[in-house]
Amino acid sequence: MFPDWVTPGDFERLRIKLAQGQWRNLARKLFLGSRRRVVQSWSHCGGERKSWYDVPAIQRRWNALIAGDPAIDFQSHVCGKFLAGRSSLRGLSIGCGTGAREILWARTGRFERLDAIDLSPARISFANERAVQEKLDGVLRFEVGDALSLNKPEGSYDVVFGEQSLHHLTPLADVFAMTERLLKPGGLLVVNEFVGPIRFQWTDRQIELSNALLRKFPEERRVFWNTRIVKRRVVRPGRLTMYLSDPSEAVESSRILPLARERFEVLEERGYGGTLLQLVFADIAHHFLDESRETLDLLDLAFKEEDFYLGRGDIQSDFATLIGRRRS
């Protein structure tokens, strides 16, 4: 009756996680309530570089797709195009995690104050320590908080950021209504998000193309992080597994762009792929961190493959940026 609630891939993922020594973390989650599972899922403050977003060449690819130049990062692009000549701004970041992005925004010198909230006390503590180390604690204010429980006056901010956090929030319609209220007239919403399938329910075509690409890599490049197990296929997670692991993961992800377009004047929207790359490089990205010719050639093959199918319309970008303006 519910074929997508538990899938064969769930057992494969469980085997990998146990091999990686994550059994304590998995067992602990079984006895936590929904909200505490979310906090537990995002309490780590560091770790191995094993995800697609850790690969330097992939980061340059994002820059090229978003800003048109692999050397211009997202912060520089937004500041140069949408915040040029402005300073003493007040900003809010929703779901800041360890504060890495907020530190980058603070370094631009555009902000007089940047408030940032997250549910994880461990990550907020880490972020505050980083702000002090970077001598940015006069600008940055990290606090434990819930995006839907903010008690701020209307028009408090010039800019509100939702970066890799909005896909964890629900109900999204309320989040965007709150964002609109907190922005000054003409204020900016800056989105950098996973906008793909809800609960990571990848399309059949997406899985087919990801597996075809994965098979083009040599086996030694496909060994799962911290194991001796070779990654042989990309699988779709079951909905029950997704909920038990992190009830907030991709809860309304595919609704982010439609809701943002509905409520804000869209100044710019850029898709930057990830539809195949995220799936293929998950848990094996540590093999692609170096800048050797062999590594770059393999990555270039992957980029061309994803670009081809994006261009043909077989798949859509699962990641996107959007700059929206509050209507007066």
pLDDT in tens, 201-235: 999 999 999 999 999 999 999 999 989 999 999 99
Give the list of residues 6+ apart from residue 116 with CB closer than 8 angstroms, or none.
92, 93, 96, 99, 102, 127, 140, 141, 142, 143
pTM of this structure: 0.90
Is residue 93 within 8 A of residue 145, CB to CB? The reply is: no
pLDDT of residue 37: 46
The number of residues in the chain equals 328
Residue 36: per-residue pLDDT: 54
Arithmetic mean of pLDDT over the chain: 92
Cα gap 118→93, rounded to integer Å? 9
Can you spell out the DSSP letters for 255-303? GHHHHHHHHSEEEEEEE---TTHHHHHTTTGGGG-S--HHHHHHHHHHH
Q: 166 and 322 in contact (C-beta within 8 Å)?
A: no
Give pLDDT tens digits for 147-192.
889 999 999 999 999 999 999 999 999 999 999 999 999 999 999 9
Low-confidence ranges of the chain (pLDDT < 70): 1-3, 15-16, 22-47
Packing angle of the helix pair 74-82, 56-67 (nearest 10 deg): 20
Per-residue model confidence (pLDDT) at position 1:
40
Residue with tokens 């609109």: 180
Q: Specify the pLDDT at position 138.
A: 98
Q: Which domains does the chain have, with CATH numbers?
A: 8-325 (3.40.50.150)
pLDDT of residue 33: 57
